A and B are shown apart, each in its own frame.
Chain A
Amino acid sequence: MNSARRLVLMLLALAVFCAAAIIVNYLTNPYGAWRTALIDPIFRADSDPRMITPYLVRTMQPETLLVGSSRVRVGMAIEQGYRDGVLNGALQGVDAEEAVEVVRVALRNPKLKRIVWGVDFFSFDESWMPDRETMARLRGDPWIMFSETLLNLEALDAGRREFDRAWHGRKALRAEWTRPVPWPQAEVCERLAELGRAGLDSIGGAKIQLQLIGDVPDYTGYSLSQRKLSDFAAAVALSRRRGVEVIVFVPPISGYVLEMIRQSGQWLMFQQWKRDLLAAGPYWDFSGYHAFALSPGLFKDVMHFKPAVGHLLLRRLLGLNTSGCDLRSRIVTEAGTWVDRRALCDVQKTQEARMRSATASENDFVRAAAQALAARGFSPAALMARAPALTHRTGASCCHCDTSRQPSDGP
C-alpha cells in the first residue's frame, strides 16, 4: 500500500464529490438562489419559505410583490413562491424590519409595479427581532448562500424532487400549482363554496387553546416601536418615489387573537398603531370585530385565514371583480374598510362599538383568550387595568380629527 497515493486519491475523490454536488445544485437551483433556469421554475416547490423567499426576492423579477407575515404567506400561498409575475415575499413571524428589507431588495427589480403589503401589529413590537439568517440571505451573504444552496444535501434532495416533477411534466402537477395568479374569480367562488369545516370551527377547543397559549408572549409585553413605524413609512415612500404602487392592508384577525390583544391590555395600543400607520398613507383595514373575525369557518387556525379567502382578498385589494360568489364572499369583501385621515375617526368609532358589543357577554372568544392568558400566569383584568394611556402622535386621532386636511385618494 502506498500511503501517499492513497491520501492523494482520498482528497481528489472528496473534491470531485463536492464539486459534482455543487454543480448539480447550481444547475437545478431548487431554492431559486441563482439565476440559472435549467428547470422551469413552475416545478420548484416553496418548501422552506424562511430560506427560499429571501432568495426569490433577490433573483426573481415580479410585477407584483406580496409582503407580510404568515397571514399573507398562508392565505395567499403560491406553491412555487413565484408564479405569473406575482411573488409571495411574506415571511412567517415577520418583523417589520425584515419586511422593510424585503421591499428594499425588491425595489432593485425594474419590472416591479406594485407591492401589496399586509402589516401586522405584532411585527411592530419593540422586542420582536429580525432573524439574522433571513437578513443575511436578503443581503446575499455569499457564505450562507454557498453552504445552504450549493454545498448542501437538502438542496440536492430538493433538486432531485424538482427534477422528478419536471420529468413528469406540467400535466402531472396538482391543479393549484398551475392556476393563474391572481386567482380567477370563478375559481375563487368555487373554492369558497367548498370551504367545508376543515378549519378553526372544527379543530376543537384544546388545540385552539394551545395555539393561543403560543401567542400570549406576542402581546402581554408589547411595546410599539416608533423606529419600525418610521422605517415602514420610509420604505413605502421610497417605493412610491420609484413609481411603484403600494397597497397597504391590515389583514383579517380572528376573534380569538383580537381577544388576546384586548385582554392583554393592548386594545388602545392596537388602535394607536392603526392611527400611526397613516403616516405611510391610507390603507385597507380588514381587522376588527366584524362578521369575518367572528366566523371561525373562514380561518385555518387562530392566526391564519384560509387560502380561498386570501385569494378573494387579493382580488379586492387589486381592485378586481369580486362579485358573483355566495354570502361568505360578501363577509370577506365587506370586512375591509378604506382608512384615510378623513375616515379614521368614523372607522375607529365603529370598531370600538363593535368591540364593546362583541365582548359585552362571555363567549368562546373571550373565554379562550382568558384561559390562555391564565395558563401562562396572567390575569386579563390586571393586564387591562395597567394598559398604557396613549398620546396621539400622528394628529389623526379619534379625539382630534384633523378634518382640514385634504381627503386622500380612494382605493
Chain B
Amino acid sequence: MLFNSYQFVFFFLPLLLVGYELLAQSCVRLAVPVFLVFGSLFFYGWWDWRYLLLFGFSIAFNYSWAQALRPRKPDAERRARAMLAAGVAVNLAVLGYFKYRNFFVSSAAVLAGRHPTMPPLVLPLAISFFTFEQLTYLTSAWRGELETRDFLSYALFITFFPHLIAGPIVRYGEIFPQLNRASRYRLDAGNLSAGFMIFAIGLFKKVLIADTFKGWLDPVFDTAVHPGFVDAWAATLAFAFEIYFDFSGYSDMAIGLARMLNVSFPENFDSPYKAQSPIEFWRRWHITLSFFLRDYLYIPLGGNRRGRLRQHLNLFVTMLLGGLWHGADWTFVMWGAFHGVALSANHLWRDRRSSMPPALAWMLTFLFVTLAWVLFRAHSIDRVAAIFAGMAGLNGFGWAGGSVGPPELRECAAGLLLVLCCPNRQMIMSWQWRSDYLYAAAFAVLAGISLLQMSNPPPFIYFQF
C-alpha cells in the first residue's frame, strides 16, 4: 500500500488510529502491539500477500537465531561470532537470491561469452530495508544489548509499517524502547497534530513536486535516441530534484506516521543539496543509510584505523557496496564507485587543509552529485553513455524539441530555488506558530492540495530497492 494512495489515507490510517486508541483503552497490554503487527502485515501484504511468507520466514529465522546469540561466557566468544556470521550470511543469501541472482548470473555469462535469458524474479517489496534492520537486531543480540527478547517486541520492531517499505533504516536500540513503553499506547493530541503536519509536508513534496518532473524526464532517460544538450541537462537536473523530493517526502511521511503513534524516527534528510562537499552531502542525504554503512561496513572493514591507503580503500568498497545495495545493475555499482572516489578525493583535499570559496565548493558538489544521478537513473550503460553524450554537446547544442520546453526549464529553476532557498521540514516544524488557526490553515492547504492531486499515484522511487 502506498502512503500516497487514497486507500491508505482514507481507510488504512484512520482505521488504524481508531483501532489503536480503542485497544489502548481496553487495558489489555498486548492488544496494541498485536494490533500494530497485524496492521503492518496487512499493509505489507496489500502489495502481494505471497511475499508475506518470505517476510514471515525472515522474521522467524532472525528471532530464533538471535535467541542463540544470548550474552555468553568468554570461552564461547568464537562460537557466538561464528553464529553471528552465519546469521548475517543467511540474510544476505536471501537478499542475494532475490535481488542479485540474475545480475550475477548474467554478468558471469556475458564474461563467458554467452547470453543467457534468465526468467525475471519479482523483488519482494522492502527486502533491502528489512534485511538491514534484521542485521541490526542480530548485532544487538550478539553484543548483548537487547532489553527484552520477546517475539512480539521483535516482530513489532521489524514490521512497524511507517519504516517497513523504504526506511528510514531504524535500529533496534533506537526504536524498541519507544515501541515497548505501555504508557505510549495512547494517542496524544500533540503528537497527532505534529505527525499529521509532517505527513502533509511529505505528501506535498511527493505529489506536488516530485511527480511533476516524472512525466517529462522519463522519455529523455528511457527512449531519446540522441538527447540534445538542453534535454540531457534539464532531465538530469529534474531527476536530482525528483529523487530528493520523492525520497525525502517519503521519509517525512514515515516520520510523521511514527510520530502519530508516539514514536520518533531518526532524521533521514537535511537539505542535502546545500552541501559544500561530498562528505557533507552524505551527512545530509539518506542519513540512516550513511550511518548504517559506516557502522556495519566501513568500521568493521577497519575504518581509518589502518592507515591512509586502507582508509581510502575501505571508503571505496563501502560506497561500491552501497551502490550495489540500491540495485542489481552495473550502473548502480558505477554510481557507488563514483561517490567512493569523490569521498576519497574529498578526504585528501581536507587532509591538505586546502580551502575553497563556499560558493565554488557548493557548485562543484552540486555538479558532481547531479552528474552521478545519471548513473543512478539510466537503465543501462548505453543509456548512461547517451545522456552523457547529450550533456557534453556531442549531439549538438540545439534544442531537440522533445519533451523538454520552456515550462520544463522553469520547473528546473523552481526546483533549484526550492532546494536552496526554502526551509526544510525540520525548520518548518521548529517554527513557533502563534495561532492555531494559521497552523490549521497551513495544514489544510498542504494536505488538501495533495489529496486533490492523488488520483493516480506513481510509486516512490525507493520502492524498487
B residues 448-465 near A (Cβ < 8 Å) are 448-449, 451-455
Judged by a CB distance under 8 angstroms, whether A16 is at the interface is yes
Report chain A residues within 8 Å CB of B440.
6, 9-10, 12-13
Q: Which 8 A-B pairs have the closest CB atoms?
A: A13-B444, A17-B448, A9-B440, A3-B189, A153-B452, A3-B190, A4-B189, A147-B455
- B448 close to A148 (CB less than 8 A): no
Report chain A residues within 8 Å CB of B444.
10, 13-14, 16-17
From B187, which residue of chain A is reached at the shortest CB distance?
Answer: A7
Q: Which of A13, A147, A154 has the largest count of B CB atoms less than 10 A from its CB? A: A13
Report chain B residues within 8 Å CB of A156.
452
Judged by a CB distance under 8 angstroms, whether B196 is at the interface is yes
- A14 close to B436 (CB less than 8 A): no
Q: How far is the CA of A143 from the CA of B11 in the complex (A)?
A: 13
Report chain A residues within 8 Å CB of B451.
18, 151
- A7 close to B192 (CB less than 8 A): yes
Q: How far is the CB of B195 from chain A (nearest CB, A)?
A: 10
Report chain B residues within 8 Å CB of A12.
440
Q: Given A6-B436, A6-B440, is A14 in contact with B448 using a C-beta cutoff of 8 Å?
A: yes
A residues 106-153 near B (Cβ < 8 Å) are 143, 147-148, 151-153
Judged by a CB distance under 8 angstroms, whether B291 is at the interface is no
Q: How far is the CB of A212 from chain B (nearest CB, A)?
A: 15
- A9 close to B455 (CB less than 8 A): no
Judged by a CB distance under 8 angstroms, whether B193 is at the interface is yes
Judged by a CB distance under 8 angstroms, whether A168 is at the interface is no
Report chain B residues within 8 Å CB of A14.
443-444, 447-448
Q: Say which residue of A4, A6, A18, A154 sits within 8 Å of B439 (CB atoms).
A: A6
Q: How far is the CB of A161 from chain B (nearest CB, A)?
A: 16
- A7 close to B448 (CB less than 8 A): no
Judged by a CB distance under 8 angstroms, whether A399 is at the interface is no
23 A-B pairs in the complex with CB atoms less than 8 angstroms apart? A3-B188, A3-B192, A4-B189, A6-B189, A6-B440, A7-B189, A9-B436, A10-B443, A11-B196, A12-B440, A13-B440, A13-B443, A13-B444, A14-B444, A17-B444, A18-B451, A143-B6, A147-B454, A151-B455, A152-B452, A152-B455, A153-B449, A153-B452
Indicate with 1 or 0, residue by residue over B405-421, a CB within 8 angstroms of chain A CB atoms. Answer: 00000000000000000
6 extra interface residue pairs, beta carbon distance < 8 Å, beyond A1-B433, A7-B196: A3-B188, A3-B189, A10-B443, A13-B441, A17-B447, A151-B451
Q: Which of A14, A143, A154 has the largest count of B CB atoms less than 10 A from its CB? A: A14
Judged by a CB distance under 8 angstroms, whether B445 is at the interface is yes
Q: Which of A7, A16, A18, A151 has the largest count of B CB atoms less than 10 A from its CB? A: A7
Report chain B residues within 8 Å CB of A6.
189, 193, 436, 439-440
- A151 close to B452 (CB less than 8 A): yes
Judged by a CB distance under 8 angstroms, whether A171 is at the interface is no
Judged by a CB distance under 8 angstroms, whether B437 is at the interface is yes
Judged by a CB distance under 8 angstroms, whether A401 is at the interface is no
Q: How far is the CA of A147 from the CA of B453 in the complex (A)?
A: 9
Report chain B residues within 8 Å CB of A21.
448, 452
Q: How far is the CB of A9 from chain B (nearest CB, A)?
A: 4
- A9 close to B437 (CB less than 8 A): yes
A residues 1-37 near B (Cβ < 8 Å) are 1-7, 9-14, 16-18, 21
Q: Given A3-B189, A3-B193, is A10 in contact with B452 using a C-beta cutoff of 8 Å?
A: no
Report chain A residues within 8 Å CB of B445.
17
Q: Which of B196, B451, B454 has the largest count of A CB atoms less than 10 A from its CB? A: B451
From B448, which residue of chain A is reached at the shortest CB distance?
Answer: A17
From A17, which residue of chain B is reached at the shortest CB distance?
Answer: B448
Q: How far is the CB of B407 from chain A (nearest CB, A)?
A: 14
Q: How far is the CA of A85 from the CA of B56 in the complex (A)?
A: 60
Report chain A residues within 8 Å CB of B197.
10
Report chain A residues within 8 Å CB of B436.
1-2, 5-6, 9
Report chain B residues within 8 Å CB of A9.
436-437, 439-440
Report chain B residues within 8 Å CB of A2.
436
Q: How far is the CB of B165 from chain A (nearest CB, A)?
A: 22
Q: How far is the CB of B259 from chain A (nearest CB, A)?
A: 13
From B188, which residue of chain A is reached at the shortest CB distance?
Answer: A3
Report chain B residues within 8 Å CB of A13.
440-441, 443-444
Q: How far is the CA of A308 from the CA of B189 in the complex (A)?
A: 64
Q: Which of A6, A9, A12 has the largest count of B CB atoms less than 10 A from its CB? A: A6
From B444, which residue of chain A is reached at the shortest CB distance?
Answer: A13
Report chain A residues within 8 Å CB of B449.
153
Q: How far is the CA of A401 from the CA of B351 in the complex (A)?
A: 92
Report chain B residues within 8 Å CB of A1.
433, 436
Indicate with 1 or 0, residue by residue over B213-244, a CB within 8 angstroms of chain A CB atoms. Answer: 00000000000000000000000000000000
Q: How far is the CA of A3 from the CA of B196 in the complex (A)?
A: 12
Q: Which of B193, B441, B451, B452 has the largest count of A CB atoms less than 10 A from its CB? A: B452
Q: How far is the CB of A317 from chain B (nearest CB, A)?
A: 36
- B439 close to A10 (CB less than 8 A): yes
Q: How far is the CA of A3 from the CA of B439 in the complex (A)?
A: 11
Q: How far is the CB of A133 from chain B (nearest CB, A)?
A: 9
B residues 383-437 near A (Cβ < 8 Å) are 433, 436-437
Report chain A residues within 8 Å CB of B454.
147
Q: How far is the CB of A107 from chain B (nearest CB, A)?
A: 29
From A13, which residue of chain B is reached at the shortest CB distance?
Answer: B444
Q: How far is the CA of A379 from the CA of B451 in the complex (A)?
A: 50
Report chain A residues within 8 Å CB of B455.
147-148, 151-152
Q: How far is the CB of A304 from chain B (nearest CB, A)?
A: 20
Q: How far is the CA of A11 from the CA of B13 in the complex (A)?
A: 14
Report chain A residues within 8 Å CB of B452.
18, 21, 151-153, 156
Q: How far is the CA of A9 from the CA of B444 in the complex (A)?
A: 9
Q: How far is the CA of A359 from the CA of B445 in the complex (A)?
A: 63
Q: Given A6-B436, A10-B443, A151-B455, is A18 in contact with B6 using a C-beta cutoff of 8 Å?
A: no
Q: How far is the CA of A3 from the CA of B190 in the complex (A)?
A: 5
Report chain A residues within 8 Å CB of B441.
13
Report chain A residues within 8 Å CB of B190.
3
Q: How far is the CA of A21 from the CA of B197 in the complex (A)?
A: 20
Q: How far is the CA of A153 from the CA of B454 in the complex (A)?
A: 9
Report chain B residues within 8 Å CB of A16.
444
